[in-house]
């Protein structure tokens, strides 16, 4: 059984050509996969706290042993579903079934995330049933629930600029009490990456944990 507060983290195995595919077209598959690997390690170092349990949902399912060697002693479950909505739905369902009371899920597209944002999400779930963290690309970087609503993950145009808008529309239609977090940049293409580079001094000043390897990599990439 899980603890009351569970953080789901969606992770892909960092195989060149299979992660950050849009970014890979602009900086190369090897660079994109290495950057994604650094993103995951950075997020894991920045987001850990005794007030929640972390659970990694990984993809592809066949890479369990490789993921375990890479990420060490994390709790691991394979992602299940044909699209992001089905995978999120399955992960939330399993986590609630294992006893969690409040569940928050994040991806690994923004190393700017930190435990303050995650703790804020859990805090908001004390008074609401859903919390969303909107991303600048029209999606969301975080979703949290204190009650299980499968509809929130259904009939969404995943990968489009309408994900956040459609999800919020569903939440309002269901009359679910919700809260919003601050906007955060997801890094999907080179423009996002350059924008992240411009924000890095501010992000580093606020919380430097885990960022040094990414900074060194980006200095080499753009030198």
Residue 213 has pLDDT above 90, yes or no: yes
Residue 133 has pLDDT above 90, yes or no: yes
**What would the pLDDT profile of 17-53 be if each residue is shown by its tens digit?**
999 999 999 999 999 999 999 999 999 999 999 999 9
Average pLDDT over residues 126-139: 96
Confidence grade of residue 149 (pLDDT, cut at 50, 70, 90): very high
**What would the pLDDT profile of 101-128 be if each residue is shown by its tens digit?**
999 999 999 999 999 999 999 999 999 9
Rounded Cα gap, residues 161 and 109, in angstroms: 16
Count of structural domains, the chain: 1
CA distances 170 to 157, 165, 178, Å, are 13, 9, 11
Q: Please tell me the predicted confidence (pLDDT) of residue 101.
A: 98
Average pLDDT over residues 72-101: 97
Domain of 67, in residue numbers: 5-221
What is the 8-class DSSP label of residue 184?
Answer: B
Confidence grade of residue 74 (pLDDT, cut at 50, 70, 90): very high
Q: Please tell me the predicted confidence (pLDDT) of residue 223.
A: 85
Say which CATH number the domain at 152 has: 3.90.550.10
Residue 1 has pLDDT above 90, yes or no: no
Rounded Cα gap, residues 37 and 6, in angstroms: 23
Rounded Cα gap, residues 163 and 143, in angstroms: 12
Rounded Cα gap, residues 118 and 162, in angstroms: 23
Place of tokens 């090897």: 30
Strand blocks (E) in the chain: 5-12, 53-59, 75-78, 102-106, 130-134, 140-145, 178-180
Confidence grade of residue 69 (pLDDT, cut at 50, 70, 90): very high
The C-alpha torsion from 164 through 170 and 171 to 176, rounded to 10°, is 180
């Amino acid at each position: 059984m899980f603890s009351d507060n569970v953080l789901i983290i969606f992770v892909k195995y960092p195989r060149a050509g299979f992660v950050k595919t849009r970014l890979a077209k602009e900086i190369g598959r090897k660079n994109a996969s290495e950057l994604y690997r650094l993103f995951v390690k950075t997020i894991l170092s920045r987001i850990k706290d005794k007030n929640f349990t972390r659970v990694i949902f990984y993809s592809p399912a066949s890479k369990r042993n490789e993921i375990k060697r890479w990420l060490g002693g994390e709790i691991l479950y394979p992602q299940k579903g044909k699209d992001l909505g089905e995978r999120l739905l399955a992960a939330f369902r399993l986590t609630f079934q294992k006893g969690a009371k409040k569940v928050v899920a994040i991806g690994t597209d923004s190393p700017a995330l930190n435990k303050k944002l995650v703790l804020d999400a859990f805090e908001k779930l004390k008074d609401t049933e859903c919390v969303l963290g909107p991303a600048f690309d029209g999606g969301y970087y975080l979703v949290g629930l204190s009650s299980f609503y499968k509809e929130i993950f259904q009939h969404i145009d995943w990968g489009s600029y309408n994900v956040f808008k459609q999800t919020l529309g569903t939440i309002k239609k269901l009359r679910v009490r919700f809260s919003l977090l601050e906007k955060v940049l997801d890094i999907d293409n080179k423009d996002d990456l350059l924008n992240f580079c411009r924000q890095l001094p501010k992000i580093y000043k606020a919380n430097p944990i885990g960022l040094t390897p990414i900074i060194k990599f980006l200095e080499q990439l753009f030198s």
